[in-house]
Amino acid sequence: MINQLYLKRAENIRRDYLKLVTELNNYDKMAKQLAESLQLRVGQLNDLYKEIDSEKVSNVEAAKDKLNTIMINLERDVNSIDGKIRKIDQEMDQLRKDEDQLYKELKQKYNTSDEELKNEINQHLKKKMLN
C-alpha cells in the first residue's frame, strides 16, 4: 500500500537511528573516560595543593604553571567529549525532524490509521532486517 519511496525513507531513518544507538553506547564509554579524567585531574590538583601547603613549592609562577597545565588538560578532555555529544544531539534532532516529516506526508497521502501505517512500515523494516 505505501509507496516504495516512503518505505525507502523509513529505511534510511531506521538505519540512521541504529547508527545513533551504537554511538550512544559509545557515549557510555566516553562518560566513563571523562570520569576517569576528572579523577586524575582531582588527584593532580590535590598533589599540587599538598606541595603548596607543605611549602615544597616556593615559586608562585611554577605553581601557577602546574595549575594551568592541569586545567588545560581537563578542559581539553571535556571539550573532546562535549563535541561528540553535540554531534549526537544534532543527529537525533535531524532524525526527529525527518521522522515527523515522513509521518506528515504519509498522513496526507494515505487515509489510514496510524497503527496501519506503523504496521506496514514495521513489516517492511523486518524484511530488510532493520527491526
Band of pLDDT at residue 80, cut at 50, 70 and 90 = confident
List CB contacts of 6: < 8 A, sequence separation 6 or more.
102, 105, 106, 109
Residue with the three cell numbers 521522522: 99
Nearest to 95 by CA among 2, 19, 36: 19
Q: What is the pLDDT of residue 30?
A: 83
Q: What's the whole-number mean pLDDT along residues 46-73?
A: 86
Neighbours of 114 (CB within 10 A): 10
Query: Residue 77 to residues 17, 45, 67, 72, 111: CA-CA distances in angstroms?
Result: 27, 16, 16, 9, 52
Q: pTM surpassing 0.85?
A: no
CA separation for the pair 42, 30 (Å, rounded): 18
pLDDT mean over 44-49: 90
The more confident residue out of 51 and 105 is 105
